[in-house]
Structure 1
């Protein structure tokens, strides 16, 4: 090999590393942002639990920067939202004046993707058009913040040894997944962050309510969650409830039971809004609600597990 070729090796290695990082999904947090990410779940379908059909939006018409003169989305806010203490009042309003892009009292109206724009007094989805205006079934105008605890353990055989995939040779990861009652899809057992609530409190509460169904078990997992999780994602969620004026964002942390002696031993029981709950093998065939599979893949990369 020539000396000139040798001198290029470090650069080639760097480029390959960067390419691998991008392809692996490790840069998802930076990719899911306005002008790049095109949501899929919240376009071109019937809005859940309604007879409202979204206005058609193609991939080329998602971004607000792209002209779409014929765009005329229906306006819909679910009837059950009205009068709920956890929901915003209707807009426009003479008495309700939200403080957009900032902390509005105890309600966090900031987006993880920076300042969002307003049109006719309403916040615009930072990713782009969804084919529906209004709030749909979401409680807040603008960002609706959630927290998602990705609780994992290694898959083990009857002898307690970690199971590896024969093809990749990597350990197989398992996660706690719930089956949502609204769309029957499997998902991370997360939930909405209450006004003024610390995300860590939301994570523990939602996991206990969704996957254990017994509040007295909260003490059993208190220490597990107190040890801290690893943040793997913070940003927009491609949720089927999103609209042009209201959307989901989440903070996702991985809580890993390395030896399976903590939450890995607890009996799971579906509660709250879950139909079922289980330990699920994690691999590339995993199908989850919204873009939860992409978030879980971040955990796989960090744990160097099978995918």
Structure 2
């Protein structure tokens, strides 16, 4: 069956995808090579992951952490501030621990002498949002992600953005012989990260914490990892110095910013919310972290290396951050090959024609052996529709 003009390059792209798929199913090592080549998200896209449209769900849950306070119910269609809701009646709550005026907390808005400079740096306190300007209404900053059913600050110290830093420390999972371990379904190598179990809520999370006034993000990232994953607060000066020297190699090497912006945190309110900068520090050989004994400290109850996959249930938006790391590293995330095939095919179709090489014999072989898989996959059918003006008939039609 002749193809319409211009259809052959696209057909070749589809069948090239099938070749890759077949190789992934039969030879995991080749799958890893493909993942390394294709999985390179642009850092700008990752930095702006929440910029198009904010969404939160954990910030709508009740009871509020550490209390019996129930939020006002916010229907999904009324979360956004642009939706008028005259009857909106949120609960006002700020924890007593915050009202006690510790060094990390602001006074109440109406407190004498307190005139915060929202949307700018206010002395040593950073009140600018990583997501741009936010609205200040009746003297209070407004959560850019929408209504939460709760006003005040809850457990958060600052009005407006509360800045944190999350170091995502990773290594490859290895067997007893030191070889990387590939997942039996995806064929991709399994990545591990240092996870802590939070004392406050019992959820697993990335070790991290608040940026102190005037502190650089890089300093916060290292400090929080030392405090929560290495228990540095309980170490002697000599032990601290040794840890610092060992960590310097890891934290001074190449790294990448996984995410910067709003965090869907259960502590968020209409007037105070969490923002973070999550940074991945990867120990490629595993040698650096093998010499550092993990020990839970500060806010962490437990610390350990955890295999990364989509089955992880982590605190706040941490699962999303971890997923971005696996995409960057070409590591295993999901056992559902459909979504990954979708992404690979899209990238193949965008390649210049001169970069899509396939011998006619392979073309025919793929037509015979692989096309059925493509046609019977729902997601591949969606992609075929995107490819446009040609039809590939299944075998047994008597045409071809």
TM-score (norm 2): 0.71
1:154 paired residue among 152, 169, 172: 172
Cα distance change of structure 1 residues 9 and 247 upon mapping to structure 2, 3 Å threshold: farther
Larger radius of gyration: 2
Distance 2:9 2:202 in 1: 55
Aligned to 2:278, which of 248, 252, 255?
252
- The one-character-per-residue Cα deviations of 1:136-156 (angstroms, maximum 9, x if unpaired) are 010100000000000000001
Residues 162 and 59 of structure 1, relative CA distance in 2, 3 Å threshold: same
Q: 1:277 aligns with which of 286, 289, 303?
A: 303
2:113 maps to 95
Please give the residue correspondences for 1:112-123 in structure 2 after superposition, counting only pairs within 5 Å: 112-123=130-141
Residue of structure 2 in register with 1:261 after alignment:
287
Give the aligned partner of residue 65 of structure 1.
82
Matched position secondary structure for 2:293? coil
The alignment's C-alpha RMSD in Å is 2.2
Listed one character per residue, the Cα deviations across residues 140-193 of structure 1 (whole Å, up to 9, x for unaligned) are: 000000000000000011111110001111100000000001110000001111
Shift in Å, 1:269: 0.6
- Partner Cα separation in structure 2 for residue 129 and residue 11 of structure 1: 46
Which consecutive unaligned segments of at least 5 residues does structure 2 have?
Answer: 16-37, 334-400
Structure 1 distance, partners of 2:226, 2:170, is: 15
Q: Secondary structure at the match of 2:60?
A: coil
Matched-pair contact (CA < 8 Å) for 2:59–2:268: yes
1:104-115, aligned counterparts within 5 Å?
104-115=122-133
Distance 1:168 1:78, change over 3 A: same
Q: Secondary structure at the match of 1:134?
A: strand
As a proportion of its length, which structure holds more strand? Answer: 1
Change (3 A) 1:88 1:250: same
Q: Higher helix share goes to which structure? A: 2
Q: Which runs of 4+ in 1 moved over 6 A?
A: 7-13
Q: What is the TM-score when the length of structure 1 is the normalising length?
A: 0.91
Q: How many residues align?
A: 297
Q: Deviations over 1:69-97 (max 9, x none)?
A: 21111111100112211111111233100
DSSP 3-state at the match of 2:262: strand
Alpha-carbon shift at residue 295 of structure 1 (Å): 0.6
1:49-198 maps to which residues of 2 (within 5 A)? 49-81=66-98, 82-198=100-216
Residues 48 and 260 in structure 2, CA contact (< 8 A), matched pair in contact too: no
Give the aligned partner of residue 236 of structure 1: 262
